[in-house]
Amino acid sequence: MVLALVLLLAVPMGTVFAQQAPAFEGTAVVSDGNSKGDSITVKLANATAPAAGREYVAWLSDDAQTERVRLGVIDVNAAREGALTFGPGSTGYNNTAPVNLAKYNRMFITSEAAGSKVATPAGAIVYLDVIPIAAAEHIRHLLIAWPAGSSKGILTNLREQLALAKQHAVLSSQATTMANMQTHAKHVVNIIEGTTGPNFAASFGNPGDGQGVLLHASDRKHAGFAATAAPSETVLAQHAALVSTAGKNAADYATLARNEALRAINAKSLDIAGFSLAYVIGVLDNAINGIDSNADGTITAQEGGAVTAYIEAQLMQTFTLQAGTQLPPPGNVGDPAIPVMAQIALALSVLLLAGGAASMVAARRKVRS
- Per-residue pLDDT of 143-195, as tens digits, reads 999 987 888 999 999 999 999 999 999 999 999 999 999 999 999 999 999 99
Question: Which residue, 286, 306, 323, sits at the end of a domain?
Answer: 323
Q: Does residue 32 form part of some domain? A: yes
Domain check: are 110 and 221 in the same one?
no
Could you report how far apart the first and last alpha carbons of the chain are, in Å? 23
Q: Does residue 162 form part of some domain? A: yes
Q: Does residue 6 form part of some domain? A: no
Q: Does residue 346 form part of some domain? A: no
CATH of the domain at 39: 2.60.40
Q: How many domains does the chain have?
A: 2
Residue from 140, 134, 149 nearest 227 by CA: 134
Domain check: are 125 and 270 in the same one?
no
User: pLDDT band for position 95 (50/70/90)?
Assistant: confident
The 3-state DSSP class for residue 83 equals strand
Lowest average pLDDT, out of 36-45, 213-222, 331-340, goes to 331-340
Q: Does residue 310 form part of some domain? A: yes
Domain check: are 109 and 44 in the same one?
yes
Lowest average pLDDT, out of 32-41, 325-334, 348-357, goes to 348-357
- Determine the average pLDDT of the residues in 209-215: 98
pLDDT for residue 351 is more than 60: no
Q: Does residue 2 form part of some domain? A: no
Domain check: are 68 and 32 in the same one?
yes
- 97 or 31: which carries more pLDDT confidence? 31
What is the pLDDT, as a whole number, of residue 332? 56
Q: Long-range contacts: 258-262, Cβ < 8 Å, 24+?
A: 258/188, 258/189, 258/192, 258/193, 258/199, 261/169, 261/172, 261/185, 261/186, 261/188, 261/189, 261/192, 262/185, 262/189, 262/199
Question: Which residue, 316, 337, 357, sits at the end of a domain?
Answer: 316
Domain check: are 117 and 173 in the same one?
no
Q: Which residues contact 351 (CB under 8 A, 6 or more apart)?
A: 2, 5, 6
pLDDT for residue 345 is more than 50: no
Q: Cα 328 from chain centroid? A: 21
User: pLDDT band for position 3 (50/70/90)?
Assistant: very low
Residue from 52, 55, 53, 49 nearest 70 by CA: 55
Please answer whether residues 273 and 200 qualify as being in contact, where contact means their C-beta atoms are separated by less than 8 angstroms: no
Please answer whether residues 22 and 48 qualify as being in contact, where contact means their C-beta atoms are separated by less than 8 angstroms: no
What is the pLDDT, as a whole number, of residue 5? 43
Domain check: are 144 and 118 in the same one?
no
What is the pLDDT, as a whole number, of residue 83? 97
Q: What is the dihedral of CA 26, 152, 227, 232, to 10 degrees?
A: -30
Q: Does residue 335 form part of some domain? A: no
Give the C-alpha separation, 164 to 53, whole Å. 55
Domain check: are 162 and 249 in the same one?
yes
Domain check: are 115 and 147 in the same one?
no
Q: Cα 150 from chain centroid? A: 19
Domain check: are 272 and 153 in the same one?
yes
- Confidence (pTM): 0.84
Residue 74 belongs to domain spanning: 24-131+319-323
Domain check: are 160 and 281 in the same one?
yes
Please answer whether residues 125 and 324 qualify as being in contact, where contact means their C-beta atoms are separated by less than 8 angstroms: yes
Query: Counting Cβ atoms within 10 Å, is residue 363 exposed (0-12), middle (13-18) or buried (19+)?
Result: exposed
pLDDT for residue 19 is more than 70: no
What is the pLDDT, as a whole number, of residue 356? 53
Give the C-alpha separation, 291 to 299, whole Å. 7
Instruction: Check whether the bond before 328 is cis (ω within 30° of 0).
Output: no
Q: Which residues contact 348 (CB under 8 A, 6 or more apart)?
A: 6
User: pLDDT band for position 7 (50/70/90)?
Assistant: very low
Domain check: are 158 and 285 in the same one?
yes
What is the pLDDT, as a whole number, of residue 333? 52
Question: Which residue, 271, 300, 316, sits at the end of a domain?
Answer: 316
Strands (DSSP E) contained in 203-349 are 319-323
Please answer whether residues 55 and 115 qualify as being in contact, where contact means their C-beta atoms are separated by less than 8 angstroms: yes
Signed CA dihedral, 107, 113, 118, 120: sign only: negative
Domain check: are 174 and 309 in the same one?
yes
Q: Cα 158 from chain centroid? A: 16
Q: Does residue 47 form part of some domain? A: yes
- 348 or 229: which carries more pLDDT confidence? 229
The 3-state DSSP class for residue 215 equals helix
